[in-house]
Amino acid sequence: MPLTHNDNLFQSSATRLIGKGLGAGAAGSEPLEADAAGWRILEGEVSLPVAVLRDSALQHNLAWMRRFMDAYGVELAPHGKTTMSPELFAMQLDAGAWGITLATAPQVRDAYRHGLRRVLVANQLVDRANMAIVSGLLADPDFEFCCLVDSAANAQALGAFFAAQGRRLRLLLEIGVAGGRTGVRDEAQVREVVDAIAQWPQSLALVGVETYEGVLKDEAGIRALLRRTLATLQALRVEGAFAEPRALLSGAGSAWYDVVAEEFAEVARDPGVRVLLRPGCYLTHDAGAYREADARIHASNPVARQLAEGLRPALQLWACVQSRPEPGRAIVGLGKRDAAFDAGLPLPVLRYREGDAAPQPAPAHWRLAAIMDQHAFLELADDDDLRVGDLLCFDICHPCLTFDKWRHLLRVDDAWRVTGVVRTYF
């Protein structure tokens, strides 16, 4: 289901791009989108810092995940909260994704406006204005939507609201664990929620079961949660609790999707079940927690091993050395306003000086020691040759909280020439 292209209403080559990390237009003004293709990062044609997406890595990651999902017979509903970018959603759908997962009603509205018509919200819908947003979108019969529920109180509120609107909301029962985040903890809670939904047959439809295993850190606990989720699905099928012939079963964040695929592969062959996995960070990957997850997956999962190379970091930041006030210290124009810092600071991987033929690998001992709103502190050896004006390229840790610092990211080829602009809507 590709995106329709009413997104063209909102972006055309005549659009003036506003913000940071863009090329300069005529006389320093905001550039036109039409001017973007061909900007050269290394030639000083783009304001630094800039967030870039490497086309080659994006294409590799899209193909990798498609092959992985196909091998298990499961479908991909990548979590779009990571990027909130209609252009990237379109790439994911073109690469075979069933639909896009989102976290909030405003995210759904933004994605719908750009043409998305199949959404799983992996979250509860609780306040009235957010219910109104979803209800409004359900006026479109081509819009396919479901969200989570984990309490009778929420089911009653949703039932009453959507009954008043004359709409029917499709729901997945969320299964959680003690000490975890959302989701029912036990059989009694399952019963309460299912019974509450059943009181609103005109306005609520239970269509499946969902879990998010990422709140757990140990594989045994994760497998137990997944099996409990699957058992709940099967029990509810037996009792006829689902409103549609094909029940949805969904799990998987970006760290444990391999284990979820393994656990759900068998039921995915049942024509009465559709399995949807929701990793979102695979598209850009990172050099932090998801690189570690990738290493674990390649060590333990046979399909991943067959695919040989794992995911590649596609999202990087270029920034400029702005001060060399002391030996052993460089101040870089890159800060908390530009990069995630909650799961590891950005990692310097390349250096470039005007006149160099190409960027060189950054020495392995270079590291960021601290980061402020607009500055990063790079530690290096006292006699390292790094000058004011030199460029540095950083890998990032945690793509979600890097994407939301940028309203545009630039797609680049392997020579760091811009191939296109990607928008975000946070």
Interface residues for a copy of itself in 247-306 (CB under 8 A)?
Answer: none
User: 46, 23 in Cβ contact below 8 A?
Assistant: yes
Residue from 106, 221, 344, 420 touching a copy of itself (CB under 8 A): that is: 106
Which of 191-199, 296-304, 386-394, 414-422 is the region at the interface with a copy of itself (rule: CB under 8 A)?
386-394
- 150-179 residues in contact with a copy of itself (CB under 8 A) are 150-151, 153-154, 157, 176, 178-179
Which of 70-78, 200-208, 220-228, 384-392 is the region at the interface with a copy of itself (rule: CB under 8 A)?
384-392
Q: Which two tokens stand for residue 360?
A: 């060189």
- 9-68 residues in contact with a copy of itself (CB under 8 A) are 18-24, 26-30, 44-48
How far apart are the C-alpha atoms of 145 and 119, rounded to whole Å? 5
Angle, alpha carbons 194-196-202 (nearest 5°): 100
Going by their DSSP bridges, the two strands 315-326 and 273-277 should be labelled as unpaired
**Applying CB under 8 A, does 118 fall inside the site for a copy of itself?**
no
Residue from 37, 375, 417, 419 touching a copy of itself (CB under 8 A): that is: 375
Residue from 103, 163, 265, 349 touching a copy of itself (CB under 8 A): that is: 103
- For residue 296, give the nearest of 249, 254, 355 by alpha carbon: 254
Classify residue 401 as exposed, middle or buried by CB count within 10 Å of its CB (0-12, 13-18, 19+).
Answer: middle
* Identity of the residue, 207 or 330, whose beta carbon is nearer to a copy of itself in the bound complex: 330
**Applying CB under 8 A, does 221 fall inside the site for a copy of itself?**
no
Which of 235-243, 259-267, 319-327, 409-417 is the region at the interface with a copy of itself (rule: CB under 8 A)?
319-327
* Identity of the residue, 59 or 104, whose beta carbon is nearer to a copy of itself in the bound complex: 104
Q: Which two tokens stand for residue 78?
A: 């990548």
* Identity of the residue, 198 or 331, whose beta carbon is nearer to a copy of itself in the bound complex: 331
- 181-220 residues in contact with a copy of itself (CB under 8 A) are 181-185, 189
How far apart are the C-alpha atoms of 25 and 43, rounded to whole Å? 15
* Identity of the residue, 96 or 180, whose beta carbon is nearer to a copy of itself in the bound complex: 180
- 324-363 residues in contact with a copy of itself (CB under 8 A) are 324-326, 331, 333, 336-337, 341-342
Going from the C-alpha of 175 to that of each of 185, 195, 213, the distances in angstroms are 7, 16, 9
Name the residue type at position 264: F
In the complex, what is the shortest distance from the CB of residue 65 to a copy of itself, in angstroms, rounded to a whole number?
20
Name the residue type at position 230: L
User: 159, 200 in Cβ contact below 8 A?
Assistant: yes
Q: Which two tokens stand for residue 134?
A: 């979803």
